[in-house]
Structure 1
Amino acid sequence: MPQHRVELRFNDDSRDLQTHTNLSAIRTDGHGLWLAGDETATIEHLVPREGRYEGQRGFALADYVELPAGRDEEADIEGLARDDGWLWAVGSHSRKRRRVKSGEPHKARRRLATVLREENRFVLLRLPLVGEGTPDVRPVREDGERAAGILAGPGANLADMLADDPHLSPFLDIPGKDNGLDIEGIAVRGERVFIGLRGPVLRGWAVLLEIRPRAHRRDRLRLAEIPGGEGPGARYRKHFLNLRGLGVRDLCPHGDDLLILAGPSMDLDGPVRVVRWRGAMGPDGPAGAEVVPASDLEPVAEPPYGVGDDHPEGMTVLGDGSLMVVYDSPAPGRLTPEGGVYADVLPLA
């Protein structure tokens, strides 16, 4: 159960866009919080004041990188990471099936047969940060030799990289909530980048991708060859984790360990748990990391979840070692009269 709750207060524009009810990613920067929702193409920053987080500033991704479908289409950001002066964000890279509207059975059949691909979902980007450790921290397009960069576009995005993968290619055209490809979570340490997959889950085994993005041009990233890598140019490595049938909902470094928020791959409420993969973020990574049994994944927290609401979507470790969790589709009791939403703070075992 949560130790306590903390209010995250958003401005009027974000409430109008329902960012506060669609939170999908969170990361602390030592002073404030970086957050993203899955219905916009922005990232938000809040600072602590009087026991809550407020003072929201929003940053449009299109101000720093060229998004494939422009600034007005959502990017479905499902993971944030911060490392060595960079802020990383990753889209879901998933297709989506249209929602069914009740009371319209004929239209519902057609909508269920319609699968959409939205190009802004297929992005991985990193932004230089300036002013870290202060309330005025912000991303910039350039900072000396550092420049914002994006991995996106036909043939360059992560989904296209998997086109011939023997495990994952059969799932690329399947919508995310149907156990198709669906990225949720990113963790970065130096040149190593872990990408979590909510789906597919393969006979109970979840998948993490490990990649090493590098600057290509001033505004572009490309993937470098990785030891033991797979695919064209050996540009990625797969890790299979026995999460007992669950997929990855978020990733967060904790020292040399990697915390994994595990939850359903499909449109279900639970179960949800946080597990620790020891040594995964260390300099050499864990031994025998390609296939990780459940016995090597230590349960450390169980965020609450609701029925039809309160879906844990993002987590970050706070300065005192506790875990903050944010929720998509928050229950009415999680919303505050001042336009905020409560995050949970849980102890880590």
Structure 2
Amino acid sequence: MSEASKWAESRNRRVSNVKKRPAQGRRRRIQIRLANRPSIIRRGLTADRTRDLPERDARPSGRLYTTDEPGHGAAATGHPLDRRRVGCVGSGFGLSRADRDSAPGMCRAMLNVSAILGRPAETGLLRIALACGLAALPVTVSAKDQSKPWKVSGKLLGEPDPKHPAEAERSEKARDVSGIACATDTGFPRICLVADDESQGAQVAILRDGSLVAGRFIRLIDATRNGKPLELDAEGVAYADGAFYVIGSHGRPRREHGQDAEGDARAEATRHLFRIRLDPNAVDPETGQLRAEPEITGTAALARIIADIPALAPFHDRALEEGGVTIEGVAVRAGRLHAGLRGPVLADGGAAVVSVPLAGLFDGKPAAGTLATVALGPDSRGQKRGVRDLVAVPDGFLILAGPMHDPEGGAVAAGDYTVFAWDGTGALRKRLDLPGYPDREKPEALLPLDERSDGQRVLVFFDGPKEGAPRALMLPR
């Protein structure tokens, strides 16, 4: 008998003290504390496209448990392991193929994790699967673990103090995070820029896997009306070719009798696009503070370009409630800026995406906008959906689709928001319907994190909760 098999039998004799929740006719759920750090188990990876590890002999370093039917399995009965479902958990499983063949119950069956207690880590299920030689590892992860917001250190800034608008540190904590982009799309930490639509600028942030550090605030406008600061209403952030781009909504507030001058001033404040260049060497990777000032270039040319597009001209300078032009997403690729519109949704049911050469926006060269439409379908109430965020990815774009008009009562139903993949021309593919969310909590910004064996991990920020309450989601392939 191999060393690993002897160890497994010895282990079976000592598992009777494992805590179990008795159940008749139900699968036992066994909580296991892991000595290692299996954070990626919670991420739901599978190993259906893996290959065997190099052959080597080593004593298993994890723990053994079963999740079989009541009354079965080593943890339930103390019987030797056999062909029942058994999980091999932990890192460092270096069983040779001979060892795996001699202990089929140990490293051949499916792993079904009901509860995992342990520290987060960078090691994960894929490594475990390779070591155990498993073909597939369906994982059950609690909704609580999936929806846990990432930690934000420092203070993401939102609405400025009306009495001291120039003093960023006096601003309210952000509650309307509306855009984020990072200078790199792989690995951590990343230098990012975050926008809140009630602020007058954007904020440097350092993104780590599981947390965010709020850094330097970069003021982009200082407009006021009757002594009160006006919102940039920044609704999207993009990054390309060494520069960040922050875009205002280009919208207009609801018209009120006798308030035209106020509305004009507020609308003007939103009709800006900014290009921001940061020297990466001037960004403190721990705090997000800057050692040198950023290079900022602004333009107001996009509003005119959109107004000149025949299909959108009737909606220029109208409030969102009237179907007016309102930008909520921005992406840059191949020298063109793409603005995703929440409204209007056109007569054919298509949401609008306008693309413009960057040279026509920042270099004063003549430029015309190109209009594309995407059929995002209705929300759960049958109402039109527009673009709520737009992100460039290697094979096209990700679109966060959501209601053009927020539902009465504010609560978001399952399927109201959907993530689509779009090739930039016509093909549209649904990636994920988002679940429902409580009142005053709307998905607003999307950030790709990494590719995994079972999909693409993204980070979603919300309008409503403090500092966006960012949560990671997996987009299936």
> Which TM bucket (shorter chain)?
0.7 to 0.9
2:439 alignment partner, SS class? coil
Partner of 2:298: 150
> Using a 3 Å threshold, how does the CA distance of structure 1 residues 192 and 110 change in structure 2: closer, same or farther?
closer
1:250 to 2:389 alignment = yes
Residue identity matched to 1:267: D
1:192 to 2:330 alignment = no
> Using a 3 Å threshold, how does the CA distance of structure 1 residues 197 and 222 change in structure 2: closer, same or farther?
farther
CA distance in 2, matches of 1:197, 1:40: 20
> Using a 3 Å threshold, how does the CA distance of structure 1 residues 179 and 305 change in structure 2: closer, same or farther?
farther
CA distance in 1, matches of 2:219, 2:199: 9
1:302 to 433, 443, 447: 433
1:326 to 2:461 alignment = yes
> Using a 3 Å threshold, how does the CA distance of structure 1 residues 158 and 242 change in structure 2: closer, same or farther?
same
1:312 to 443, 448, 452: 443
1:20 to 2:174 alignment = yes
- How far the C-alpha of 1:125 sits from its partner, in A, is 1.5
CA distance in 2, matches of 1:127, 1:264: 30
CA distance in 2, matches of 1:83, 1:215: 16
Extract unaligned runs of 5+ from structure 1: 99-108, 143-147, 226-234, 281-288
Deviation sequence 1:228-278 (CA, Å, 0-9, x none): xxxxxxx11000111113100111122122000001112324611010013
1:89 alignment partner, SS class? strand
1:263 to 2:263 alignment = no
Partner of 2:132: none
Residue identity matched to 1:243: L
Deviation sequence 1:286-332 (CA, Å, 0-9, x none): xxx2xx3xxx31111233343431111111101454110101112xx
Residue identity matched to 1:261: L
Aligned residues: 293
Partner of 1:88: 245
CA distance in 2, matches of 1:257, 1:246: 20
TM-score by length of 2: 0.55
> Using a 3 Å threshold, how does the CA distance of structure 1 residues 13 and 249 change in structure 2: closer, same or farther?
closer
Does the 8 A contact of 1:179 with 1:266 survive in 2? no
CA distance in 1, matches of 2:371, 2:209: 44
Does the 8 A contact of 1:92 with 1:122 survive in 2? yes
Larger strand percent: 1
2:195 to 28, 36, 50: 36
- How far the C-alpha of 1:178 sits from its partner, in A, is 3.1
- How far the C-alpha of 1:158 sits from its partner, in A, is 2.2
2:364 to 213, 222, 227: 222
Whose Rg is larger? Answer: 2
CA distance in 2, matches of 1:192, 1:170: 24
CA distance in 2, matches of 1:260, 1:249: 7
Residue identity matched to 2:277: P
CA distance in 1, matches of 2:312, 2:218: 33
CA distance in 2, matches of 1:276, 1:49: 25
CA distance in 2, matches of 1:77, 1:202: 23
Does the 8 A contact of 1:275 with 1:299 survive in 2? yes
CA distance in 1, matches of 2:181, 2:402: 19
Sequence identity, in percent? 28
Partner of 1:161: 305
- How far the C-alpha of 1:33 sits from its partner, in A, is 3.1
CA distance in 1, matches of 2:259, 2:231: 21
- How far the C-alpha of 1:51 sits from its partner, in A, is 3.8
1:207 to 332, 346, 352: 352
Greater relative CO, 1 or 2 (CA 8 Å, sep 6+): 1
Within a 5 Å distance, the mapping from 1:59-208 to structure 2 comes to: 59-62=218-221, 72-97=229-254, 116-117=263-264, 118=266, 119-131=268-280, 135=285, 140-142=293-295, 148-152=296-300, 157-203=301-347, 204-208=349-353
Deviation sequence 1:109-146 (CA, Å, 0-9, x none): 8599998232120011211121168625858454xxxx
- How far the C-alpha of 1:169 sits from its partner, in A, is 1.1
TM-score by length of 1: 0.73
Partner of 2:469: 342
1:316 alignment partner, SS class? strand
> Using a 3 Å threshold, how does the CA distance of structure 1 residues 265 and 112 change in structure 2: closer, same or farther?
farther
- How far the C-alpha of 1:18 sits from its partner, in A, is 3.6
Does the 8 A contact of 1:97 with 1:112 survive in 2? no
CA distance in 1, matches of 2:217, 2:234: 14
Deviation sequence 1:43-87 (CA, Å, 0-9, x none): 11222468421242211124xxx9799994221100100111101
Deviation sequence 1:143-164 (CA, Å, 0-9, x none): xxxxx32221xxxx32222334
Partner of 1:229: none
CA distance in 1, matches of 2:223, 2:356: 21
Partner of 2:153: 9
CA distance in 2, matches of 1:123, 1:68: 15
Partner of 1:239: 372
